[in-house]
Amino acid sequence: MSPSNPPIPSHDEPDWARVSQIAVQGSDSPLVPTSLAPACLRVYPAYARLDIPGAVNECLVRREVHQRLLLAARALPEGLSLVVLDGWRPWRVQQYLFDTLYESLRSHDPSLDDAQLLARTREFVSLPSRDPQAPSPHLTGGAVDVTICDADGLLLEMGTQFDEATPASHTDHFERHPPASDTSQSEARDNRRLLYRVMSEAGFTNLPSEWWHFDFGDQLWAWYRGEPRALYGPAEMDSIETLWKRSLG
């Protein structure tokens, strides 16, 4: 084990009821496009490519999040790039993802009751909420979904697909279930360690059930950092109407 690529520590799942009670400071930090970043940061808006209703063909994040993504990207070994799959997410997309996973789980296992279905769904998709005091993480512009690609643009092996709703997607899965030999699972473990390390060193926290999900400035970040308040509440993408209204005073 290389000291520069240490094991991923295990963390408990968030207590969402308590997460939603963390005070939101609020910030006027704007949403900025990641597609204009240097080549070390690549952008692949996954939900727009899947034609999910309401998805934006850009990955928008808060300005400070953008700066920290660049820190993480520049810490990767030469030839590797950080890939942003999703950032700020419209409420409509959050609702769609929640509803489709909920129904998929219900169809897959009819024995699950409503409470179990809700818990299983929230493992991978947070409740859709535009509440200024308890917004869904991706609605704040502080949550990002990321992975790593090589110089040819091929995604590194991570053991599961992005958004694969299985226990193997838990960030520390290969730490708790060590690969038996030098296999693709060993490669996935090492790649997850690399992603977790560069993102953590750039100031992000990770959602334990998703190796791809990281936060900065939202309530989930505040929960795992022990911060007294979150920096970001809900954000909205500028429209031409809002731009005109601001310019006209």
pLDDT per residue as tens digits for the range 162-201 = 999 999 999 999 999 998 877 899 999 999 999 999 999 9
Task: Report domain extents, the chain.
Answer: 16-247
pLDDT single digits (tens) 81-106: 999 999 999 999 999 999 999 999 99
Report pTM: 0.93
- Residues in binding site: 138, 145, 213
Binding residue numbers for Zn(2+)? 138, 145, 213
Element (H, E) at 145: strand 143-149
Output the pLDDT for position 2.
53
Per-residue pLDDT, 1: 45
- Dihedral sign from CA coordinates of 86, 197, 234, 66: negative
From 103, 210, 227, 241, the catalytic residue = 210
CATH number for the domain running over 16-247? 3.30.1380.10
Q: Tell me, what's the pLDDT at 78? A: 96
Is 236 part of the annotated catalytic residue set?
Answer: no
High-pLDDT (> 90) share of the chain, %: 83
Integer Cα distance of 80 and 74 in angstroms: 9
Residues 6+ apart with CB under 8 A from 160: 166, 168, 169, 211
